A and B are shown apart, each in its own frame.
Chain A
Amino acid sequence: MLKAQGLAKSYGSEQILHQVELEVKRGESFGILGPNGSGKSTLVKILIGEESPDSGKVWLEGKEIASYDSKERARKIAVLAQETMEEIDFTVGQVVEMGRYPYLKKWTGMTRQDQEIIEQVMELTGVSIYRDRRFSDLSGGEKQRVAIAKALAQEPELLFLDEPTTYLDIHYQLLILDLIHRYRQEHQLTIVMVLHDLNLAAQYCDQLLLLSKGKVKAAGNPQQIIQPSLIDEVFHVKPIVLSHPKWQVPQLLLSAKRDSCSSGECS
């Protein structure tokens, strides 16, 4: 579905990415992990064709991403970014409608099919009841559900999630990720997500890619990636790794360095 080889990018003299390669298979849920400044967002921007790499290539369904027309690309890839902070004077219905933009021709209105898809995704994400409310009046979690509805209205084959739950409380974090997970299973959607929370990543992703200082440190399934030594090397924390009692995926338990603090050597 999505393949990248030899990606490199630098801003000025600072090299952000070195020789990154990855492959995402159709229907897979693929997680990109790494500490702040490891090049995750730059990698995502290159993978979705928003920026071009200095060297290396990205292929979407065997065709180079740069050769896609921008609307054609938006019919395949949708992006859900962090919750928007901008003041938006539109109603929820109008915002979701904008997801159909890549399908609409100039001077023509929406077809019945467009309308139906909008209805479907609004039902699915549970935002129909807010239809006529002003977008900016919603809470953060509600806004993010509307953003998902907009992204799904694009009928994407590949959905990018760029830290979609950063500002949300745990209720909404799970709600958003479950919603996407369910949709993925029903529609054969491929998902690439950048998550800060390693435990959520282990539960929702089939494959993980660990970035460190712009390089691929490791790639594989959660069992291979969520390992104390790797995590320590990349994030500089010494976690305890347990198996999730229900899903049998590795979960991290962070432990504070209290023993050294209590003896007064904290600073």
Chain B
Amino acid sequence: MKELRLLWWSGGLFLCFLFSISATVTWGSAHIEMGMVWKIIFSHLWGGTTLPAGIDSATDAIVWQLRFPRVILAAVVGATLAIAGVIFQGLLKNSLADPYVLGVSSGAATGAVLSMLTGWGSILLGKWTVPIFAFGGACLALFLVLRIVDRHLRAESLILSGVVIQAFFGAILTFAISISEQEMQRIQFWLMGSFVLRDWEHVWILLPILVIGLVVAWGFSRELNVLVLGDRSASHLGMNVARVRLFLLLLASFVTAVAVSVSGTIGFVGLVIPHIIRMLTGADHRSLIPLSALAGAILMMWSDCLARVIFDPRELPVGVITAFIGAPFFAMILKKRQKR
């Protein structure tokens, strides 16, 4: 019964995922039909150098070099943030935690901007410079939040700590923007997140991180489940709680940092998605992790699509869309908790 339900939702989400890819590649200033989209994608994946009949090189370029990589990147970022959200919520036993609310995203963005402005370490680290600086920022933010929060990790205390850290790193970011006028545009997009001018290169940075993050997090799904019982119960069951928690916090911060370094701070995906999936298929992390990744990808693809088409030809930062969806959702959960 429960397995059947899980199977239904997995299948449904996967179909929805495929449909979302084709639909969001189709939409845009130039309308390209769904059939043609898939023809172009398949021809690049399995075909040779020649284009299929009836497709001109301009259309091919729009699909393969502009929209498809962007849609895939959105999906990968969405999946990554959703997994980070699942881990944070599980570890902190707090359904209001997510990388954005905790200030981890802001920390990562600050690290990323710092590395862009100063250029430190870029010779040594190459294309990984920005992600690694972002990871440093994310860890610092998380460390500070966990220092401020009370010992019991109560929801309200955690949120307030996150707000403070977010305000602090936000101020650093705004400061950086103010003193460097020529970089303003580039930095500004970190504040609300965007997929403008992102291409395959960024996909190849984040995709391996997502795969590793997904596999490792799934490998720890049993630990995440047991931790729900509480720290003492987990240690009575033979888990090294401190070590597991530290490792998973670092993992979640790392995947968040890499996601932020390619797309900026996009809020609430990691909050909304695990909630919805938990309501649909239960709290077991073995299904929660992969299904959240899938749903996060879908939500982000559509958010980015909306960001592109609503005021076409102008674009909105995608973080605006996710905040419009996420903030009321956040308020709703908070209200529901108070009723209990």
Q: Determine how close the nearest CB of chain A comes to the CB of B229; give it in whole angstroms.
A: 7
Q: A94–B2 Cα gap in the complex (Å)?
A: 12
- Decide if B2 touches A95 in the complex (CB within 8 Å): no
Residues of A contacting B39 in the complex (Cβ-Cβ under 8 angstroms): none
B119 CB-CB contact with A under 8 Å? no
- Decide if A89 touches B238 in the complex (CB within 8 Å): no
Residues of B contacting A90 in the complex (Cβ-Cβ under 8 angstroms): 225, 228, 282-284
A74 CB-CB contact with B under 8 Å? yes
A10 CB-CB contact with B under 8 Å? no
- Decide if B283 touches A78 in the complex (CB within 8 Å): no
- Decide if A81 touches B233 in the complex (CB within 8 Å): yes
Name B235's contact: one of A50, A99, A107 (CB within 8 Å).
A50
B47 CB-CB contact with A under 8 Å? no
- Decide if B235 touches A89 in the complex (CB within 8 Å): no
Q: Determine how close the nearest CB of chain B comes to the CB of A38; give it in whole angstroms.
A: 20
- Decide if B232 touches A98 in the complex (CB within 8 Å): no
- Known A81-B233, A90-B228; contact A104-B222, beta-carbon cutoff 8 A: yes
Name A98's contact: one of B229, B240, B278, B283 (CB within 8 Å).
B229
A127 CB-CB contact with B under 8 Å? no
Residues of A contacting B226 in the complex (Cβ-Cβ under 8 angstroms): 98, 101
Residues of A contacting B149 in the complex (Cβ-Cβ under 8 angstroms): none
- Decide if B235 touches A106 in the complex (CB within 8 Å): no
- Decide if B225 touches A94 in the complex (CB within 8 Å): yes
Residues of A contacting B282 in the complex (Cβ-Cβ under 8 angstroms): 89-91
Q: A94–B219 Cα gap in the complex (Å)?
A: 17
- Known A101-B222, A104-B222, A106-B219; contact A84-B235, beta-carbon cutoff 8 A: no
Q: A70–B226 Cα gap in the complex (Å)?
A: 15
- Decide if A86 touches B225 in the complex (CB within 8 Å): no
Interface residues of A in 154-175 (CB under 8 A from B): 154
- Decide if B233 touches A154 in the complex (CB within 8 Å): no
Q: Determine how close the nearest CB of chain B comes to the CB of A156; give it in whole angstroms.
A: 10
In chain A, what residue has the closest Cβ to B234? A101
- Decide if B228 touches A89 in the complex (CB within 8 Å): yes
Residues of B contacting A50 in the complex (Cβ-Cβ under 8 angstroms): 232, 235-236
- Decide if A154 touches B237 in the complex (CB within 8 Å): yes
Residues of B contacting A98 in the complex (Cβ-Cβ under 8 angstroms): 225-226, 229, 237
Q: Determine how close the nearest CB of chain B comes to the CB of A86; give it in whole angstroms.
A: 6
Residues of B contacting A187 in the complex (Cβ-Cβ under 8 angstroms): none
A228 CB-CB contact with B under 8 Å? no
A79 CB-CB contact with B under 8 Å? yes
Interface residues of A in 73-118 (CB under 8 A from B): 73-75, 77-79, 81, 84, 86, 88-91, 94-95, 98-99, 101-102, 104, 106-107
Residues of B contacting A94 in the complex (Cβ-Cβ under 8 angstroms): 225, 284
B121 CB-CB contact with A under 8 Å? no
In chain B, what residue has the closest Cβ to A132? B2
B230 CB-CB contact with A under 8 Å? yes
A26 CB-CB contact with B under 8 Å? no
Name B233's contact: one of A84, A104, A107 (CB within 8 Å).
A84
- Known A86-B93, A89-B282, A90-B284; contact A78-B236, beta-carbon cutoff 8 A: yes
In chain A, what residue has the closest Cβ to B225? A98
Q: Determine how close the nearest CB of chain B comes to the CB of A187; give it in whole angstroms.
A: 19
Q: A95–B282 Cα gap in the complex (Å)?
A: 13
- Decide if A74 touches B284 in the complex (CB within 8 Å): no
B239 CB-CB contact with A under 8 Å? yes
Residues of A contacting B2 in the complex (Cβ-Cβ under 8 angstroms): 91, 132
What sequence of 0s and 1s flags, for each residue 224-255 of chain B, a beta carbon within 8 Å of any chain A beta carbon? 01101110110111111000000000000000
- Decide if A70 touches B229 in the complex (CB within 8 Å): no
Residues of B contacting A86 in the complex (Cβ-Cβ under 8 angstroms): 93, 228-230
- Decide if B236 touches A89 in the complex (CB within 8 Å): no
* Interface-central residue, B232, B235, B238, by most chain A CB under 10 Å: B238
Q: Determine how close the nearest CB of chain A comes to the CB of B292; give it in whole angstroms.
A: 14
Q: A50–B242 Cα gap in the complex (Å)?
A: 12
Q: A71–B238 Cα gap in the complex (Å)?
A: 4
Residues of B contacting A101 in the complex (Cβ-Cβ under 8 angstroms): 222, 226, 237-239
Residues of A contacting B284 in the complex (Cβ-Cβ under 8 angstroms): 90, 94
- Decide if A70 touches B240 in the complex (CB within 8 Å): yes
- Known A50-B232, A84-B230, A98-B226; contact A89-B278, beta-carbon cutoff 8 A: yes
Residues of B contacting A79 in the complex (Cβ-Cβ under 8 angstroms): 236
Q: A107–B286 Cα gap in the complex (Å)?
A: 11
- Decide if B228 touches A70 in the complex (CB within 8 Å): no
A149 CB-CB contact with B under 8 Å? no
* Interface-central residue, B229, B282, B283, by most chain A CB under 10 Å: B229
| A-B pairs with beta carbons under 8 Å apart, 30 shown | A50-B232, A50-B235, A70-B238, A70-B240, A71-B238, A74-B236, A74-B238, A75-B238, A77-B236, A81-B233, A84-B229, A86-B93, A89-B278, A89-B283, A90-B225, A90-B228, A90-B283, A91-B282, A95-B229, A98-B225, A98-B226, A98-B229, A99-B237, A101-B226, A101-B237, A104-B222, A107-B219, A132-B1, A132-B2, A154-B237
List chain A positions with a Cβ less than 8 A from chain B: 48, 50, 70-75, 77-79, 81, 84, 86, 88-91, 94-95, 98-99, 101-102, 104, 106-107, 132, 154
List chain B positions with a Cβ less than 8 A from chain A: 1-2, 93, 219, 222, 225-226, 228-230, 232-233, 235-240, 278, 282-284
Given contacts A50-B235, A101-B238, A101-B239, list 12 more A-B pairs with CB under 8 A. A48-B236, A70-B239, A74-B237, A74-B238, A78-B236, A81-B232, A84-B233, A94-B284, A95-B229, A98-B225, A106-B219, A107-B219
